[in-house]
Amino acid sequence: MVVRHEKTVPQRIGTVLERNKTSEVPGSIIGKVPGNQSDTVVQENFPERQPTSYRGGKFSTSNIPAIRSGQDTQDDYVSHLSPGQVKLMVTVESNNPRHGARNSALLALIYDGALRVSEALGVRPCDIESTPDGYLVAVMGKGKRPGKAAITAATAEKLKSYAYDVGIVRDERLFPITRSQVFRICEDAYKRAGIRQPSKLNDRVGAVHVLRHSGALARLAASGNPKSVQSQLRHKSASMTLRYLKTLTAKEGLAIQQGVSPW
């Protein structure tokens, strides 16, 4: 007698909802159940990491989506924050009575340049270069490989202004702090903005590195050019950058094409 063992899907915390009834809400992640072939998704609820000021109504994130992850396969989808979420984090952190200007400038640099934290911590005023096409920042990437990344004029001016105000000279690091301090800065920004802090356990990306993901996706959505984003991220392989392309929704893809003329 042959006994068949059917593969079962582990029960996950959350409520199974029909796809056409789901919506993104703060404090949740929506995605397919691994191994589930049905047309259902799971909405997992996580504790809201909100400060008292947010609960009192000081900050409002009701129209800002939660961290977006799990909407594609686990291997292809890149977890990220929306531009609105990052902008809110930079804004509220600028009001931090302790090192607000430094913290907001650092968050803006990591996101805008889609930099690794080690790259951002090594940037000096002399590394910011103005060109006819915009601003570039020189960084020291993985394996001590030098590279350059584009940043907006707004971020470049924010960095220059911060350096001038605190008296940082051209060849000194803008942010002479440790990686642990950067994590604490991000942790504070999430709390002040009322945004759930991502984690490697739940979102497969850390609280700081998600800013690099988010900046890369924002640039890809705006440009529609994976090759240019590969150069921005300094990826050796195009396959790594294609993960970002697969993360764009059909709506975002069409929005890019609406600005393209084949004639």
Both tokens assigned to 143? 């394996």
User: What is the pLDDT at residue 75?
Assistant: 61
> Domain limits of the chain?
79-233
Q: CA–CA separation, 78 vs 68, rounded Å?
A: 8
Average pLDDT over residues 103-124: 97
Which pLDDT band holds residue 259 (cuts at 50, 70, 90)?
confident
Note whether 157 and 109 are within 8 A (CB).
Answer: no
**Phi, psi dihedral angles at 233 (to 5 degrees):** -85, -15
Residue 85 confidence (pLDDT) above 90: yes
> pLDDT tens digits, residue range 221-251?
888 888 899 999 998 877 778 888 888 876 6
Cα torsion angle, 154, 156, 162, 165, sign: negative
Q: So what CATH class is 79-233?
A: mainly alpha
Side by side, which strands form the sheet with 15-18? 15-18, 40-45, 28-32
DSSP 205-254: S-TTHHHHHHHHHHHHHHH--HHHHHHHHT-S-HHHHHHHHHHS-HHHHH
Average pLDDT over residues 164-172: 96
Average pLDDT over residues 134-163: 95
Q: What is the pTM of this model?
A: 0.70
Question: 29: which strand partners?
Answer: 44
Total Cβ atoms within 10 A of residue 10: 7
Q: CA–CA separation, 93 vs 114, rounded Å?
A: 19
What is the share, in percent, of the chain residues with pLDDT greater than 70? Answer: 70
Note whether 59 and 194 are within 8 A (CB).
Answer: yes
Q: Please choose, from the candidates 120, 34, 81, the residue with its C-alpha nearest in 3D space to the C-alpha of residue 203.
A: 81
Residue 61 confidence (pLDDT) above 70: no
Q: CA–CA separation, 139 vs 147, rounded Å?
A: 5
User: What is the pLDDT at residue 237?
Assistant: 78
Q: CA–CA separation, 118 vs 140, rounded Å?
A: 8
User: What is the pLDDT at residue 42?
Assistant: 31
CB-side neighbour CA atoms (13 Å) of 215: 24
- How far separated are the first and last CA of the chain, in Å rounded? 68
Q: CA–CA separation, 112 vs 119, rounded Å?
A: 13
Cα torsion angle, 127, 205, 108, 224, sign: positive
User: What is the pLDDT at residue 233?
Assistant: 92
Residue 21 confidence (pLDDT) above 50: no
Residue 143 confidence (pLDDT) above 90: no
User: What is the pLDDT at residue 15?
Assistant: 33
Both tokens assigned to 28? 């949740």
Range scoring the smallest mean pLDDT among 17-21, 65-69, 145-149? 17-21
Range scoring the smallest mean pLDDT among 145-159, 160-174, 213-227, 240-254? 240-254
Q: Is 111 exposed, middle or buried (0-12, 13-18, 19+ CB in 10 A)?
A: buried
Residue 129 confidence (pLDDT) above 60: yes
